[in-house]
């Protein structure tokens, strides 16, 4: 992939504890899956950044390659790919997400 694009993605992930690559913004999610992830993170009361991949077609295709994940949302926690909507729902319901966020945000 384009090295400049990779560098800017690396930077976004490295400088934000939680970053969600999604369709739309946290105020105006443009897809139900992205909206669900925003609602979960809002419920958890954590600080997070969102990136609207619909605003940049290069980022939309680039993120699929970067994460080796074909869909959005894509959630990164402490520099690592965590998952999409289904994984976030599962982790939220099981309590795993709470544990991960506590560890991640206190480290
Ligand atoms: N099962 C997925 C649902 C997400 C999904 O299917 N997203 C689709 C529709 S919004 C998507 O991103 N498709 C690729 C694209 O639009 O570029 C998850 O757990 O995140």
Give residue-wise pLDDT tens across range 28-42. 999 999 999 999 999
SS3 18: strand
Q: Which two tokens stand for residue 49?
A: 């950044």
- The atom number, within ligand 1, closest to the CA of 34 reads 10
Using CB atoms within 10 A of its CB, is residue 41 exposed (0-12), middle (13-18) or buried (19+)? buried
Using CB atoms within 10 A of its CB, is residue 103 exposed (0-12), middle (13-18) or buried (19+)? exposed
Mean pLDDT of 68-94: 98
pLDDT, averaged across the chain = 96
Q: Is the pLDDT of residue 107 over 70?
A: no
The fold adopted by the segment(s) 3-105 is Glutaredoxin (3.40.30)
| Ligand 1 surroundings by CB, under 6 angstroms | 23, 31, 33, 60, 71-73, 84-86
Q: For the chain, what are the domain ranges? A: 3-105
Q: Is the ipTM of this complex over 0.95?
A: yes
> What global pTM score does this model have?
0.96
């Amino acid at each position: 992939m384009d090295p400049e694009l990779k560098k800017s993605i690396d930077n976004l992930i490295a400088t934000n504890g939680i970053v969600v690559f999604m369709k739309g913004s946290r105020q105006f999610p443009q897809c139900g899956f992205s909206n669900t992830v925003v609602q979960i993170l809002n419920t958890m009361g954590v600080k997070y950044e969102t990136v609207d991949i619909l605003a940049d077609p290069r980022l939309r295709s680039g993120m699929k390659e970067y994460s080796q994940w074909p869909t959005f949302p894509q959630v990164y926690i402490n520099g690592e790919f965590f998952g999409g909507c289904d994984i976030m729902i599962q982790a939220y319901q099981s309590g795993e997400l709470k544990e991960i966020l506590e560890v991640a945000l206190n480290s």
